[in-house]
Amino acid sequence: MAYDKFTILRSTAVPMPIENVDTDQIIPARFLKATERKGFGDNLFRDWRYEADGTPKKDFVLNNPIYSGKILVGGKNFGSGSSREHAAWAIYDYGFRCVVSSFFADIFKNNSLNIGILPVQISAGFLDKIFTAIEADPKTALEVNLEAQRITILSTGESESFEINGYKKHNLMNGYDDIDYLQSMKADIESFAAKSIY
């Protein structure tokens, strides 16, 4: 699935200082019934965001108009649980392009990269600084520079670098995906398969 190229993102951020945000919270299973990748953003964090009757829960951050932006900042172990890519789709569809945390669950991280969301893993200390800065001023903007692999709190100038492998970085910056790459090496795969015992 094609996605927008990711280079430099400057945006305010939505803070969610909760640990172990799992994929069942990001998108509950009962909303996984579509056969197309459409509209998942409406049900992002459904049960934290809405009462059973559909009224928005006032104290949930996505319902608080003072917070907005293309960056979601979450607590440690973000995205644990199921392999449902729908969780990443919901985040993307809602309008986020980047998720920041001090620790990500593996499959969620992979899924995000595969659909054009940049997971930025930073130290616990820097994560705290971001939360503090946003708490002090919800209009605090962050800059995520993929090329330089650096995240900066623009109001204070504090920054930290983050890791991403060269291959994924190249893909994200150019809007490529793994399927394009794999198609380009079909002949190698054919000959590999010919030797397989299974």
Partner 1 sequence: MSKAPATLFDKVWDSHVVRKIEDGPDVLFIDRHFIHEVTSPVAFLGLESRGLKVMFPGKTFATADHNTPTINQHLPVQDPLSANQLKALETNSAKYGISHWGLGNPKNGIVHVVGPENGITLPGMTIVCGDSHTSTHGAFGAIAFGIGTSEVEMVLSSQCIMQPKPKKMRIKVNGKLGKGVVPKDVVLYIISRLTAAGATGYFIEFAGEVFEQMSMEGRMTVCNMSIEMGARGGMIAPDETTFAYIKGREKAPNGEAWDKALAYWKTLKTDEGAAFDIEYEYNAADIEPMITYGTNPGMGMGITRHIPSAAEAGGSKASYEKSLNYMGFREQDEMLGKKVDYVFIGSCTNGRIEDFRAFASIVKGRKKADHVTAWIVPGSHIVEQQIKEEGILDILTAAGFQLRQPGCSACLAMNDDKIPAGKYAVSTSNRNFEGRQGPGARTLLASPLVAAAAAVTGVVTDPRSLMAE
| Cα–Cα distance, 17 to 183 (Å, whole number) | 40
Contact 112, 99 (CB under 8 A): yes
Decide if residue 167 touches partner 1 (CB under 8 A).
yes
86 or 97: CB nearest partner 1: 86
Decide if residue 123 touches partner 1 (CB under 8 A).
no
Window of 8-16, 19-27, 125-133, 144-152 that interacts with partner 1 by CB under 8 A: 19-27
Decide if residue 74 touches partner 1 (CB under 8 A).
no
Pick from 9, 71, 88, 100: which binds partner 1 (CB under 8 A)? 88
Pick from 91, 100, 107, 146: which binds partner 1 (CB under 8 A)? 107
- Full 3-state SS string of 122-178: CCHHHHHHHHHHHHHCCCCEEEEECCCCEEEECCCCCEEECCCCHHHHHHHHHCCCH
Contact 115, 172 (CB under 8 A): no
| Cα–Cα distance, 150 to 165 (Å, whole number) | 14
Q: Are strands 98-101 and 71-74 parallel, antiparallel or unpaired?
A: parallel
11 or 104: CB nearest partner 1: 104
Q: How far is the CB of 108 from partner 1 (least distance, A)?
A: 9
Q: Angle formed by the axes of helices 86-94 and 106-115, to 10°?
A: 50
Q: Which residues bind partner 1 (CB under 8 A)?
A: 1, 17-20, 22, 24-25, 28-30, 32-37, 47, 52, 75-77, 80-86, 88, 103-107, 110-111, 114-115, 165-168, 177-179, 181-183, 185-186, 188-189, 192-193, 196-198
